[in-house]
Amino acid sequence: MNSQYVVAKFGGTSVADFTAMHRCAQIINDDPSVRVVVVSASAGVTNHLVTLVQQKSNEAQRLELVESVMQIQGNILAHLTLDEDLQEGFNTTAEQFKQLAQLPALDQQQCDEILSFGERFSSYIFSQVLRDLGVSTQRFDVREVLKTDSNFSKATPDVAATEKAASDLLVPLLDDNVVVTQGFIGSDKYGQTTTLGRGGSDYSAALIAEAIGAKSVHIWTDVVGIFSTDPRLCNKAKPIPRLSFDEAAEMATFGAKVLHPATILPASRKGISVFVGSSKAPEQGGTWIEKETTSQSGIRAVTQRKNQILLTLKSPEMLLASGFLAKIFTILSNYNISVDLVTTSEISVALTLDNAPNATRPELDQACLDELGAFCHVTVENNLTLVAMIGSEIQLQGGEDCLVDVLSEFDIRLICHGASRHNLCFLVEQNKSDLVVQSIHQKLLEAA
Ligand code: ASP
Ligand code: MG
């Protein structure tokens, strides 16, 4: 049964400085149904922390990175006086951060511990901003409830354990307080800190909403919803007022950077609606993502995701044999590699992997390539972009005949359509992809 509670999540730019935080606090103050607030690290902080854990820095550089992080927090704190409980917690956390950051070598668990500090600092500071508006606010350590496996840097949540812990520890607080907690981080069964991967705070918010049975999640970011394409690329891009869970999941997966791709999972499991809007302009509305939408069929958006790796695996011995795909996917899964697109023929398979430039660890490592290379010929191509057209009931013939014309203009490396009726994806060379997206948007989404 869904309660009337709302979970609100504020991203890095929404909590970048005091003014931004103050705007977010007003949004919460204006909406009494918001009971849980999930905060990201202030803009720039996680990037510094990623540099720190990558261990390419010497002692002086590490000190400088710590200094930069503390400077961002200090600039916000200059506008506030923390209550004693928050001040004490903040000081202890800052001390832990400084000590850990000076270690010359870190294991994976320590890396996740370091990555967690941005969200932890934000939660102390934001709690005070809310209290200063007169909102009864309690800071809560999300690691007590958001339980995950021990796959550091990309942990998988344990939904049942999270739900149990949330009903024991979090739900009882919600009648009398707004609870401020951290996105992106969790803890494994030994109590060690884990992280959910870059941009994971949206996912955290949806997981918490699921765990407390909230009615909706509000994702506050710096754009007024999800657009038909990146508005920086096409000035005629339009916000989409309503999307279905399926459409939104495809958009997030294939490059609309507004939302972490996994966010839709918990929301659709429990039928929790998701709102995406701008904390700078809440009055402008945003996009509502829900189970049922009345949206028309056809293409509604075009997205792109750069830095894709195309892996082609070929094994002539596999002609008429079986088990080739199983073997490949077992290896990829052993290395925790997530595959996006796949096309196959009898003796070869082509697949794409995401190689996000700011990921907390690289997607493809040499050991995996060696294992694949032991039984098939492997080709790796880089500098490709995955372009995706997204909507519902996309068809190559009939209503969308112009689609074929549009596609025929470009030099396409691989094309996928059919597994889902919500997307049609292809790969193009990275340096042409902006043009491809602009052209598709103009021909298919700007008419009428
Ligand atoms: N701070 C983390 C990141 O920058 C998580 C988030 O903001 O969603 O990736
Ligand atoms: Mg984000």
Instruction: Output the known binding site for ATP.
Output: 9-12, 221-222, 232, 257-258
Pick from 164, 197, 221: which residue ends a domain? Answer: 221
Q: Is residue 406 domain-resident?
A: yes
Report CA(198)–ligand 1 centroid distance (Å). Answer: 5
Q: Name every residue whose Cβ is closer than 8 Å to that of residue 219 and which is 6 or more positions away in sequence.
A: 9, 11, 202, 205, 258, 259, 263, 274, 275, 276, 277
Q: Is residue 355 domain-resident?
A: yes
Report CA(311)–ligand 1 centroid distance (Å). Answer: 28
Report CA(201)–ligand 2 centroid distance (Å). Answer: 7
Q: Residue 305's domain is classified under what CATH number? A: 3.30.2130.10
Q: Is residue 432 domain-resident?
A: yes
Element (H, E) at 205: helix 201-212
Ion ligand 2: residues, CB within 5 A, are: 11, 199
pLDDT for residue 277: 97
Whether residue 103 is found in the same domain as residue 211:
yes
* Closest ligand 1 atom to 202 CA: 8
Ligand 1 pocket test: pick from 198, 222, 276 the residue with the most ligand atoms within 8 Å of its Cβ. Answer: 198
Per-residue pLDDT of the chain (448 residues; tens, 9 = 90+): 568 999 999 999 999 999 999 999 999 999 999 999 999 999 999 999 999 998 777 889 999 999 999 999 999 999 999 999 999 999 999 999 999 999 988 999 999 999 999 999 999 999 999 999 999 999 999 999 999 999 999 999 999 999 999 999 999 999 999 999 999 999 999 999 999 999 999 999 999 999 999 999 999 999 999 999 999 999 999 999 999 999 999 888 887 788 998 999 999 999 999 999 999 999 999 999 998 766 667 889 999 999 999 999 998 877 667 788 888 999 999 998 888 899 988 888 999 998 776 666 667 888 999 999 998 999 999 999 999 999 887 766 555 556 777 778 888 888 888 777 888 999 999 999 999 999 999 988 987 5
Instruction: Output the known binding site.
Output: 9-12, 46, 119, 221-222, 232, 257-258
Report CA(95)–ligand 1 centroid distance (Å). Answer: 22
* Closest ligand 1 atom to 41 CA: 1
| Residues in contact with ligand 1 (CB, 6 Å cut-off) | 11-12, 40-41, 46, 118, 183-184, 198-201
* Closest ligand 1 atom to 201 CA: 8
Q: Is the CB of residue 184 less than 8 Å from the CB of residue 201?
A: yes
Whether residue 62 is found in the same domain as residue 207:
yes
Whether residue 418 is found in the same domain as residue 324:
yes
Whether residue 20 is found in the same domain as residue 123:
yes
Report CA(310)–ligand 2 centroid distance (Å). Answer: 26
Q: Is residue 370 domain-resident?
A: yes
Report CA(94)–ligand 1 centroid distance (Å). Answer: 19
Whether residue 14 is found in the same domain as residue 111:
yes
Element (H, E) at 136: none
Pick from 191, 221, 251: which residue ends a domain? Answer: 221
pLDDT for residue 324: 83
Please give the tally of structural domains in the chain: 2
- Protein residue with its CA nearest to atom 6 in ligand 1: 199
Q: Is residue 254 domain-resident?
A: no
Pick from 206, 221, 236: which residue ends a domain? Answer: 221
Domain range for 402: 299-445
Q: Is residue 256 domain-resident?
A: no
Q: Name every residue whose Cβ is closer than 8 Å to that of residue 242 and which is 6 or more positions away in sequence.
A: 287, 288, 289, 290, 293, 294, 295
Whether residue 64 is found in the same domain as residue 187:
yes
Q: Is residue 182 domain-resident?
A: yes
Whether residue 183 is found in the same domain as residue 307:
no
* Strand arrangement of the beta sheet that strand 242-244 belongs to: 137-139, 178-182, 34-39, 6-10, 216-221, 273-278, 286-290, 242-244
Instruction: Output the known binding site for substrate.
Output: 46, 119
Q: Is residue 10 domain-resident?
A: yes
* Closest ligand 1 atom to 196 CA: 5
Whether residue 164 is found in the same domain as residue 310:
no
Q: Residue 102's domain is classified under what CATH number? A: 3.40.1160.10
How many alpha carbons fall within 13 Å on the CB side of residue 367?
Answer: 7
Whether residue 209 is found in the same domain as residue 313:
no
Report CA(210)–ligand 1 centroid distance (Å). Answer: 20
The amino acid that residue 305 corresponds to is: R
- Protein residue with its CA nearest to atom 8 in ligand 1: 199
* Closest ligand 1 atom to 200 CA: 8
| CA atoms of 448 and 446, how far apart (whole Å) | 6
